Chain A
Amino acid sequence: MNDLHSLAGEYAVGCLTEEETTEFESHLATCPDCREEVAEMRDIAVQLSKAVAAEPPTGLRASVLAKISQTAQDAPAHAGVQPARQGDEAADPSEHSEAPGVHVGGSAPAASNVVPFQRRTSSTWVAGILAAAAVLAAIAMGGWAVSNRDDARVSTAQNLQLTHLLTAGDVRTASGQFSGGGSGTVVLSASQHQALLVAADLPELPSGQVYEAWTITDSTTPAGTFTKGGSGTIVSLPPAAVDASAVAVTVEPEGGSDHPTSKPLFKVGLPTA
């Protein structure tokens, strides 16, 4: 019916029927020229989509993140046309934290030279609201992993503490993004002399490193170390935090530091009471 080689453009703009799409995709598996053309055409289609870019509804991010936290992922594909990256062949891929199925060799070189923790340039109050919404959604679903496995009671107590705080008459919150990914909200109440940092979607740190919170007044004071929890982490801050002007988080060597030794990944000013 059709010369399959000439269908790349139509395939990329998605105007083939379902049957034609299936047929062309089996052709793709055996035709490197078409694969290359499709890759190029798809990039043009991406440009077309950018021409109609629109701000998604504000709640969508939180609901997407909540949804995926409950969704299992597929097994990596092994039958790819390209070999897996070096060192992946022998090992069971399910035990890898990296994904061997994501083939990024050949024309698109493996991006291992991209520094994983990069600063985000956007940090708005909208993001903060969304972060708080994501955190609350995660709590509502009971999806909190126990961040300190040694003492599950700590986690339960923190959840209760958070509930009390959120219902305090003088509750204050401040939200922001972590520059390496993830978001955080400081929740505090002067009347209750309590402050918590609630963080979601933080990246796992390399072993030997921990997140460390700081309260900033005239000086910078250590406010506890923590590691990434499951879908969220609650950190109890010292009561003095209610008088602080800002809360920050840095990455420090295991055990924590007395003074920050790296630039803050996260810093929010606290609203005055």
Chain B
Amino acid sequence: MPSIAMRGTCAVLLLPARRGTVVAMRSSTQSNELAELLRRVAGGDQGAFATFYDSTARSVYGIVLRVLRDPAQAEEVTQEVYVEAWTSAPRFDAELGSPTGWLNTIAHRKAVDRVRSSERSLQREQRHFESGGSPQASVDTSDIVVALDEGQRVRQALEQLPEAQRTAVHLAYFEGRTHREVAEFLEVPLGTVKTRIRDAMKRLRNHLGEAAS
């Protein structure tokens, strides 16, 4: 899986960074390789798609599993994600972000769509509480599975967020809740949730950029 990420040491010298931070430069390098792969995928190249899958499947499956908390459903949804990626690759628009950003959005959205259908949502709540999940506002991130150095870095960045921000991101992104649900859950105004998420994302961006340099 990390093969793509590890390849681009030469390309980084050739390609202008999209943004100023180191993390942006590195993801830009990977983005360009994945963009090239996606271009071939868009032309119907199944071999390129296999490589694209190999480069991205762990984080796609990871987030889908995280949101759904059910391996069988996660497998099903991950397949849907890649079929959609295959189908819509010809319409990929780099101005809306990197290939991984695009794919990750598809993945998260499909997982969230699945989980928000009410019955399944109830089942998930059931599983969540049965598995020892706490309804309290303070959310522990220690159950996050970290398999990559990169994951470790992100986890550290998450841990360094103020608790209120970390909790908001956790509920919204990893739990797949709407901002309104997050607001109700935390008993804070909607505007506060918005601010916390935005501030958290900015802090994460800064922290991940600094940590990498």
Given A96-B43, A104-B39, A106-B94: A57 touches B71 (CB 8 Å cut-off): yes
Closest residue of chain B to A61, judged by CB?
Answer: B53
Contact between chains at B47 and A44 (CB < 8 Å) = no
Excluding A14-B108, A51-B155, A56-B57, 12 further A-B contacts by CB distance (< 8 Å) are A10-B193, A42-B98, A53-B59, A53-B147, A54-B147, A64-B78, A65-B46, A68-B82, A72-B87, A74-B91, A81-B93, A104-B39
Q: How far is the CA of A55 from the CA of B87 in the complex (A)?
A: 24
Q: Is A141 an interface residue (CB 8 A)?
A: no
A-contacting residues, B81-123, CB 8 Å? 82-83, 86-98, 100-102, 104-105, 107-109, 112
Bound CA span A112–B95, Å: 17
| B residues less than 8 Å from A81 (CB atoms) | 93, 95
CB of A209, distance to nearest CB on chain B (Å)? 15
CA–CA, A225 to B142, complex, Å? 54
Select which of B14, B35, B95 is within 8 A of A35 by beta carbon: B95
User: Quick one: which of B163-192 are within 8 Å of A by CB?
Assistant: 169, 172-174, 176-180, 182
**Is A47 a contact partner of B178 (Cβ separation < 8 A)?**
no
B36 contacts the other chain (CB 8 A): yes
Cβ-based interface call for A255 (8 A): no
A203 contacts B by Cβ under 8 Å: yes
In the complex the two chains form, is B18's CB within 8 Å of A201's CB? no
B158 & A15 in contact (Cβ 8 Å cutoff): no
- The interface-forming segment of A115-123, A211-219, A242-250 is A115-123
Contact partner, B86, options A68, A96, A111, A202, Cβ 8 Å = A68
- A interface, by DSSP: helix, strand, loop or mixed? loop
Total A-B pairs, Cβ < 8 A: 314
Closest CB in chain A relative to B100 CB, distance in Å: 5
**24 pairs of residues in contact across A and B, judged by CB atoms under 8 Å:** A10-B193, A35-B95, A38-B97, A42-B105, A43-B23, A50-B151, A52-B59, A52-B144, A56-B57, A60-B57, A60-B61, A64-B83, A71-B87, A73-B87, A101-B92, A102-B94, A104-B94, A108-B31, A109-B32, A114-B33, A114-B36, A116-B36, A201-B46, A228-B47
Question: By the criterion CB–CB under 8 Å, are A51 and B53 in contact?
Answer: no
Chain A residues 22 to 55 lying within 8 A of chain B, measured CB to CB, are 28, 35, 38-55
- Say if the beta carbon of A253 comes within 8 Å of chain B: no
Closest beta carbon of chain B to A249's beta carbon, Å: 14
Q: Verify B50–A111 contact, CB threshold 8 A.
A: no
A54 touching B145, Cβ below 8 Å: yes
Is A43 a contact of B44 with CB atoms below 8 Å?
no
User: Which chain B residues border A228 with CB–CB below 8 Å?
Assistant: 47
1/0 contact string of B178-210 vs chain A (CB within 8 Å): 111010000000000110011011101100100
